[in-house]
């Protein structure tokens, strides 16, 4: 479970052997601490004063960190015989409690650095430890596999009470503001309200779902928007159904329910209620009192922030993407990314803040995506045999589902949007058919009922799975690529069925993708045979074959206004090809597994790739001006005193002397001598510049003299070599005998030697 800093500015999350610190406002990782032994972290905790971070690893080591500097300040053995499963700090940030898988609880004084208590008596793994918020009571609460809550008196180091009411694992504890009441949640689908003075259960609330976490609402705040009508105890639960529920403890009644998303259809909502192991289930809930927010974590490692008292969604972060199947730029300025992972959910990332929207609607894995020309609408298809059309509001960036269709008999593996305007979509399926779906002129807005799509055209296009469909830039042609190793070209008319125009044959294995050129009448295809091919639309012949991948070529797209190709393969490589020369001019290696997603921005200045290694990589085109601008900005920000020092250093080498002299010229022109002499070490630097500058001047003069001698020799040979008819015979004579040319070059070099010791380089360079 993540941890939140006291000022509610940072959230701490584990990732293997590392703890990442994210700034909530930007979503960026600002700090990171990692175990040197690369052992996975089993538990970690942040002190209430935000000063200490303590981690426990499988190596049975406890490490204390100064997380702001990412340095380990202390490391000690945990004494537990097996890994630590849970940790907590007391309110004073002095005592640290660790619950081990060996059934023991140990308390540590982190200031004096010694173990103060060793509490025994728990049955099995101690997965929950928590101090009473009133430190004067010196009580510790714990829970283990016996489904009981134990209360430990730290003055006597004994268990003084065993709270028995749950029949499955207790998942969380939450205290009221005055500390007199405690609510426990469990996987037995109940929450229990306890009187902390008498340690008796005052109420058992059936919640009808396995509860992962519970949070007591502050009694002095107004939560009337979520059904809280009185000052009685209310609490919020998060569990396996993926919904937030507000409960009134006295009546055991649910007064408000908040689903994850309003895009769910009623049918899918019913399925959600029945499914106890669905990926939308919530695993963590925490109340942020300062900003009046709630934080939840889903089973798919998504972090969602809600604003109280309305429970409106504020922010969403995606913690893990699993296998990335497709990724596309979204928004008129390519400001967002829409990502399909090995999940029934879609994720829309804002590139500037890394904030994420999680889109619900599909009931099985989303396979591929495509974006309309206006860049504010996109379509998705999934294994649930359905297609969905989504719209992003240009002002708020909020994405909603506006259309839905389902008539395929098998998984829909490919989709393509119309190119001129948002008038239709084309899908290809594992049922070997291609369908054309018309969109209405006006799509519903948020809050209205989702439009139901019907297929206008259904065509059995191939003998095997249709892996890819593509629409031409003028919306008149349709291409399909299949596992049957062929690609087909179809005539796409506003009315009437598809008409087959031709078949592209030549690939030795199944075709993964087809793509039309934006400027020429050619079609590109990528195949499992490790090649990409370029086809002519007039005669259906293969124009070019691009070979270089060692495995299947999964994606191919045109870039640079149709003059280059980008391909991605199962080998984790992305290659850039120049079509005219048939050469691979760049190979990008940033992934460790299949690169399923590949897309370029509308300006061709950005590219994004998504891979089965769970990585999404955004690439930026670098040109010669990028480095130049960086150098100019660096020099511009340097103080003049530093520039003078660099000039003296650069001037000692002939290779850098021109740069040094150029910068020195600017300094001398823009700064008066009095100001130059006030720089620290200015006299030393200027005195060091003079002798090297004189040597450079002498060398350049010698080179100039040698070059003039070559010109003189050339003129003389032209005069001597002319015959009576005016024809030059000198150079043909030299050209006829190579040894004469070699003799002339050596003579020129020797003549250059007469000009000075540096003349050889000049003469040779001139030749």
Instruction: Identify whether the C-beta of residue 532 lies closer than 8 Å to the C-beta of residue 553.
Output: yes
Residue 1 confidence (pLDDT): 82
Kindly tell me the sign of the dihedral angle through the C-alpha atoms of 357, 361, 362, 368: negative
Q: Tell me how far CA of residue 676 lies from CA of 648, 668, 688, in angstroms.
A: 14, 8, 15
Residue count (the chain): 767
- Using the 8-state DSSP alphabet, how is residue 519 labeled? S
Residues 6 or more apart whose CB falls under 8 angstroms from that of 177 comprise 216, 218, 219, 220
- Sheet containing 606-611: order of strands: 595-600, 606-611, 616-620
Residue 266 confidence (pLDDT): 36
Structural domains in the chain plus CATH codes: 180-320 (2.130.10.10), 322-460 (2.130.10.10), 622-680 (no CATH), 689-767 (no CATH)
Instruction: Identify whether the C-beta of residue 601 lies closer than 8 Å to the C-beta of residue 619.
Output: no
SS3 486: strand
- Using the 8-state DSSP alphabet, how is residue 273 labeled? H
- Secondary-structure percent of the chain, ordered helix, strand, coil, rounded to 5: 15, 45, 40
φ/ψ (deg, to 5) at 178? -85, -5
3-state secondary structure 327-342: EEEECCCCCEEEEEEC
Q: Rounded distance, CA 112 to CA 89, Å?
A: 15
Residue 220 confidence (pLDDT): 83
Instruction: Identify whether the C-beta of residue 169 lies closer than 8 Å to the C-beta of residue 162.
Output: no
What's the pLDDT tens digit per position in 352-401? 887 889 998 999 999 999 999 988 999 999 999 999 999 998 888 889 99
| pTM check: above 0.85 | no
What's the pLDDT tens digit per position in 417-443? 999 999 999 999 999 999 999 999 888
Kindly tell me the sign of the dihedral angle through the C-alpha atoms of 311, 313, 318, 321: positive
Among 618, 614, 708, residue whose Cα is nearest residue 323:
614
Residue 458 confidence (pLDDT): 94
Residue 260 confidence (pLDDT): 67
φ/ψ (deg, to 5) at 257? -130, 130
* E strand residue ranges, 377-475: 377-382, 387-392, 399-405, 412-417, 424-429, 433-438, 451-453, 455-460, 466-471
Residue 720 confidence (pLDDT): 57
SS3 733: helix
Among 363, 367, 369, residue whose Cα is nearest residue 348:
369
Among 36, 63, 41, residue whose Cα is nearest residue 52:
63
Parallel, antiparallel or unpaired: strands 451-453 and 399-405 = parallel
**Dihedral, 727, 732, 734, 735 alpha carbons, nearest 10:** 160
Instruction: Identify whether the C-beta of residue 569 lies closer than 8 Å to the C-beta of residue 605.
Output: no
What's the pLDDT tens digit per position in 440-457? 988 888 778 899 999 999
Q: Rounded distance, CA 78 to CA 153, Å?
A: 22
**Max alpha carbon distance in the chain (Å)?**
129
Among 72, 122, 73, residue whose Cα is nearest residue 97:
122
585-588 CB contacts, 8 Å cutoff, 24+ apart: 587/548, 588/619
Residue 735 confidence (pLDDT): 43
Residues of the chain short of pLDDT 50, as ranges, are: 262-275, 722-767
Parallel, antiparallel or unpaired: strands 387-392 and 399-405 = antiparallel
């Amino acid at each position: 479970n993540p941890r939140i800093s006291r000022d509610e500015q940072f959230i701490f999350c584990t990732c293997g052997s590392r703890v990442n610190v994210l700034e909530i406002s930007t979503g960026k990782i600002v700090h990171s601490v990692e175990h040197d032994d690369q052992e996975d972290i089993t538990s970690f905790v942040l002190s209430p004063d935000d000063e200490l971070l303590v981690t426990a690893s499988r190596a049975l080591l406890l490490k204390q960190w100064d997380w702001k500097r990412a340095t380990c300040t202390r490391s000690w053995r945990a004494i537990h015989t097996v890994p630590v499963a849970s940790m907590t700090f007391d309110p004073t940030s002095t005592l640290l409690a660790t619950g081990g898988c060996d059934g023991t609880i140990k308390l540590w004084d982190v200031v004096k650095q010694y173990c103060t208590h060793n509490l025994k008596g728990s049955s099995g793994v101690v997965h929950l430890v928590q101090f009473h918020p009133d430190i004067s009571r010196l009580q510790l609460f714990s829970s283990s596999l016996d489904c009981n809550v134990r209360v430990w008196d730290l003055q006597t180091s004994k268990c003084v009470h065993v709270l028995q009411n749950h029949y499955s694992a207790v998942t969380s504890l939450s205290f009221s503001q005055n500390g007199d009441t405690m609510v426990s949640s469990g996987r037995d689908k109940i929450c229990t309200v306890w009187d902390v003075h008498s340690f008796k259960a005052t109420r058992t609330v059936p919640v009808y779902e396995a509860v992962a976490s519970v949070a007591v609402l502050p009694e002095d705040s107004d939560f009337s928007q979520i059904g809280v009508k009185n000052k009685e105890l209310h609490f919020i639960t998060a569990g396996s159904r993926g919904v937030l529920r507000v409960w009134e403890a006295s009546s055991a009644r649910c007064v408000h329910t908040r689903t994850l998303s309003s895009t769910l259809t009623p049918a899918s909502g019913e399925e959600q209620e029945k499914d106890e192991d669905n990926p939308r289930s919530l695993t963590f809930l925490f109340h942020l009192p300062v900003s009046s927010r709630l934080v939840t974590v889903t089973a798919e490692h998504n972090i969602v922030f809600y604003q109280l008292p309305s429970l409106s969604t504020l922010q969403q972060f995606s913690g893990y993407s699993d296998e990335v199947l497709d990724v596309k730029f979204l928004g008129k300025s390519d400001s967002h990314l829409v990502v399909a992972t090995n999940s029934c959910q879609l994720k829309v990332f804002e590139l500037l803040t890394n904030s994420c929207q999680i889109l619900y609607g599909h009931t099985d894995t989303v396979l591929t995506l495509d974006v309309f020309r206006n860049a504010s609408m996109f379509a998705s298809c999934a294994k649930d045999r359905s297609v969905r059309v989504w719209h992003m509001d240009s002002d708020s960036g909020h994405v909603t589902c506006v259309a839905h269709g389902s008539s395929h008999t098998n998984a829909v593996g490919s989709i393509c949007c119309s190119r001129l305007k948002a008038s239709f979509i084309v899908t290809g399926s594992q049922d070997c058919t291609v369908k054309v779906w018309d969109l209405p002129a006006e799509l519903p807005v948020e809050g209205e009922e989702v439009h139901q799509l019907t297929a206008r055209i259904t065509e059995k296009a191939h003998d095997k799975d249709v892996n890819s469909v593509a629409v031409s830039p003028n919306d008149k042609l349709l291409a399909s690529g299949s596992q049957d190793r062929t690609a087909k070209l179809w005539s796409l008319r506003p009315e009437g069925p598809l008409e087959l125009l031709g078949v592209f044959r030549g690939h030795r294995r199944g075709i993964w993708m087809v793509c039309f050129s934006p400027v020429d009448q050619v079609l590109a295809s990528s195949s499992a045979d490790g090649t990409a091919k370029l086809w002519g639309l007039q005669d259906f012949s293969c124009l070019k074959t691009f070979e270089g991948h060692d495995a299947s070529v999964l994606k191919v797209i045109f870039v640079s206004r149709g003059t280059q190709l980008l391909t991605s393969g199962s080998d984790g490589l992305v290659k850039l090809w120049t079509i005219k020369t048939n050469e691979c001019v760049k190979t990008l290696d940033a992934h460790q597994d299949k690169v399923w997603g590949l897309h370029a921005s509308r300006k061709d200045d950005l590219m994004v790739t998504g891979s089965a290694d769970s990585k999404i990589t955004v690439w930026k085109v670098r040109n010669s001006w990028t480095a130049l601008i960086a150098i100019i900005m660096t020099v511009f920000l340097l103080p003049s005193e530093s520039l003078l020092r660099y000039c003296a250093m650069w001037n000692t080498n002939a290779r850098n002397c021109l740069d040094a002299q150029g910068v020195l010229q600017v300094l001398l022109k823009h700064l008066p001598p009095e100001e130059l002499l006030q720089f620290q070490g200015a006299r030393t630097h200027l005195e060091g510049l003079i002798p090297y500058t004189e040597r450079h001047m002498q060398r350049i003069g010698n080179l100039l003299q040698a070059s003039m001698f070559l010109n003189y020799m050339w003129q003389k040979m032209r005069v001597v070599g002319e015959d009576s008819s005016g024809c030059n015979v000198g150079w043909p004579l030299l050209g006829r005998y190579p040894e004469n040319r070699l003799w002339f070059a050596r003579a020129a070099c020797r003549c250059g030697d007469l000009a000075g010791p540096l003349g050889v380089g000049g003469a040779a360079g001139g030749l």
